[in-house]
Amino acid sequence: MTSAIETRLAELGVTLPSAPAPAANYVPFVQAGNLVFVSGQISNGPDGLIKGRLGDNMDVEAGAAAAKACAISLLAQLKAACGGDIDRLERVVKLTGFVNSTADFTDQPKVINGASDFLVEALGDMGRHSRSAVSAAALPLGVAVEIEAIFQIR
């Protein structure tokens, strides 16, 4: 039987990749009760890392696409946390987005909208969430965006 969430993702042209392995001494997710805390996922797409600095060599549209890539990785981690059954998702609780940007760049929310808009489009009301969008002077490996999430599951 096909997952309802993965069917919706397929309609949007998205297939969840395998959950990325952690790059250091941490775990990709922790479940505490009915909450799953997913470690920060860096902007990585089918062609590799999505690097750039907003306000320097990357525009808001490209940054939003990088944020969407992070959201796809977050869902891949959630699927792994749920033992492959992503339909255990009840709602996205919170995103915290970090944007690699210059000191004078102020459109971090527009960049992280790439993740937020995608999650609502893919998940409907259960994709609506609280959120923070902040600037970072640098992110790991020079990526444009990193996002962590909290999910509620059944």
Enumerate the H helices of 1-154 as residue ranges.
Answer: 4-11, 60-81, 108-123
Assigned domain for 16 exists? no
Q: What is the mean pLDDT of the chain?
A: 97
Inter-residue contact 50 to 63 (CB < 8 Å): no
pLDDT band at 21 (very low <50, low <70, confident <90, very high): confident
Assigned domain for 5 exists? no
Q: What percent of the chain has pLDDT over 90?
A: 95
CATH number at residue 59: 3.30.1330.40
pLDDT band at 1 (very low <50, low <70, confident <90, very high): low
Assigned domain for 142 exists? yes
Assigned domain for 137 exists? yes
What pLDDT, on a 0 to 100 scale, did the predictor assign at position 49?
98
Helix axes 4-11, 108-123, angle to 10 degrees: 120
How crowded is residue 8: how many other Cβ atoms within 10 Å of its Cβ? 14
pLDDT digits (tens, 9 = 90+) for 46-85: 999 999 999 999 999 999 999 999 999 999 999 999 999 9
Separation of alpha carbons 43 and 35, rounded Å: 23
Q: Number of folded domains in the chain?
A: 1
Enumerate the H helices of 17-152 as residue ranges.
Answer: 60-81, 108-123
pLDDT band at 23 (very low <50, low <70, confident <90, very high): confident
Assigned domain for 10 exists? no
Assigned domain for 149 exists? yes
Integer CA distances (angstroms), 142 to 1, 40, 61, 130, 139, in order? 40, 14, 18, 26, 5
Residue 93's closest CA among 118, 123, 128, 125? Answer: 128
Q: Residue 71 belongs to what domain range?
A: 27-153
In this structure, the dihedral spanned by the alpha carbons of residues 52, 58, 61 and 67, taken in order and rounded to 10 degrees, is 20
Assigned domain for 13 exists? no
Assigned domain for 71 exists? yes
Structure tokens at 86: 């992503």
